[in-house]
Amino acid sequence: MKKTAGTQEYIRPQDSAFDKKTDNLVSLFFLVLIILAFLPVLLVIMAAFSSEESVAVYGYRFIPKEFSLEAFRYMFSSGSTLPSSFMNSVFITAVGTLLGLAVMCPCSYALSRKEFRHRSALMIFLMIPMLFSGGLVSSYMVNTQILHLRNSYWALILPGLCSTWYLMLLRNYFITSVPDSLIESAKLDGASAYGTFLRVVLPICRPVVMTVAVFQIFAYWNSWYPALLYIDTNHTEKYPLQYVLVNIERSIQAMSRDAQYLSGMTGYTAPSVTLRMAMVVIAIAPIMILFPFFRKFLKTGLTVGAVKG
């Protein structure tokens, strides 16, 4: 602390060697955590590119004893609908994410405005499904008997189109990050409500919109249960990727159970362990490729809206 002419000027001390050592230890600790979190993923990838015999003899290894593409070759050449199901998942994920944002963003913006008189009642109405679900039977009857969504892509898109948690995340961000003065300025300039939302609010709130988009992408890409409910075996061309992988997994389990009764017979045996690892690689590869591009939006969208400044 330095005194000057009746005032006191505080001079910030330099970081001590202890503080620098602490920072280095914390950084090292998180680096070790990152490596430990990535090692299982790397092990799965290496096992997918190993031969079934080497995994059976030597176990899982980060450097395979014998590289092989037999698991991937079996998946793509066994008569499965894997390529078409992959494109189905891409279509469902893209359409579901875009439509979900088109529905949730305007709704959450309206819920964030104080001049909307019924926003409290509507929020309570939207939060009820978070606490009390209508049940599987009722939702199935509505989707099949009333909306007639069976055996269509809409059956895989509409049930997950809107989420109350995403609405609350968007609403809180709109409240904390969009000042009322900015909205008033846009109104004074003659902008309509839709113009204000599209040209003023959305550019400011791009981080949280991209964050919700990432969550929607993850949800649609990993979804397989709606296909089990609404798509029958006569419409296999509409199967998403995850459901096809689940069916392959069931086939592997059935072959493993029957292997003990066919031990005396010779023939081709499908890879089981490496095939499971290959399924995991195919399922997570697109997400791993896209995630680095959305990382900065994900971080900003989850943190900025939590602080009001």
What are the tens digits of pLDDT across the range 194-220?
A: 888 888 888 888 888 888 998 899 899
**pLDDT number for residue 130:** 78
Least Cα distance to 91 among 294, 238, 246 occurs for 238
Residues ≥6 apart with Cβ < 8 Å to 50: 61, 64, 65, 66, 67, 68, 274
What single DSSP character describes residue 10? -
Over residues 168-193, mean pLDDT: 85
In sign, the C-alpha dihedral spanning 228, 231, 233, 239 is negative
What is the C-alpha to C-alpha distance for residues 208 and 104, in angstroms, rounded to an integer? 12
CA distance 251 to 233: 15
Which residues, other chains included, contact 226 with Cβ-Cβ below 8 Å and sequence gap of 6+?
155, 156, 159, 160
Residue 123 has pLDDT above 80, yes or no: yes
* pLDDT over 70, % of the chain: 82
SS3 content of the chain, % helix, strand, coil (to 5): 75, 5, 25
Is residue 122 very low, low, confident or very high in pLDDT (cuts 50, 70, 90)?
confident
Q: If you average pLDDT over every residue of the chain, what do you get?
A: 80
Is the per-residue pLDDT at 295 higher than 70? no
Task: Provide the pLDDT for residue 3.
Answer: 47
Which residues lie across from 4 on neighbouring strands?
A: 7
Residues 52-75 have pLDDT tens digits of: 888 888 888 888 888 888 888 877
The pLDDT value recorded for residue 255 is: 65
- What pLDDT was estimated at residue 11? 46
CB 118 within 8 A of CB 199: no
**Can you give the pLDDT at residue 105?**
92
- The confidence score (pLDDT) of residue 216 equals 92
> Taking Cα atoms as reference points, which of 135, 123, 302 lies closest to residue 211?
302
149 has a pLDDT exceeding 70: yes
Helix (H) or strand (E) holding 129: helix 119-131
**What phi-psi label fits residue 191: left (phi over 0), alpha (psi between -120 and 50 degrees) or beta?**
beta
- One-character DSSP codes across 54-71: HHHHH-S-SS-SSB--HH
Per cent of the chain over pLDDT 90 is 13
Burial of 107 (0-12, 13-18, 19+ CB in 10 A): middle
Closest CA to 45 of 247, 287, 279, 289: 279
pLDDT band at 126, cuts 50/70/90?
confident
| Highest mean predicted confidence (pLDDT) among 5-19, 162-176, 276-290 | 162-176
Closest CA to 160 of 92, 234, 220: 220
Q: What is the mean pLDDT of residues 2-13?
A: 49
Average pLDDT, integer, range 228-236: 88
Which pLDDT band, with edges at 50, 70 and 90, does 305 fall under?
Answer: very low
Residue 141, pLDDT > 60, answer: yes
Is the pLDDT confidence value at 14 over 70? Answer: no
pLDDT at 83 over 60: yes
Task: Output 265 or 246, whichever has higher pLDDT.
Answer: 246
Q: Is the pLDDT confidence value at 96 over 90? A: yes
Helix H or strand E encompassing 7: strand 7-9
Domains and CATH numbers, the chain: 2-71 (no CATH), 73-306 (1.10.3720.10)
- Partner residues linked to 8 by β-bridges: 3
What's the confidence (pLDDT) of residue 16? 65
Number of continuous H segments (helices) and E segments (strands) in the chain: 15, 2
Mark residue 113 as left, alpha or beta (left: phi above 0; alpha: psi -120 to 50; beta: remaining): beta
Which pLDDT band, with edges at 50, 70 and 90, does 275 fall under? confident
pLDDT in tens, 99-110: 999 999 999 998
**Could you tell me which of 264, 295, 301, 288 has the C-alpha nearest to residue 45?**
288
State residue 157's pLDDT score: 93
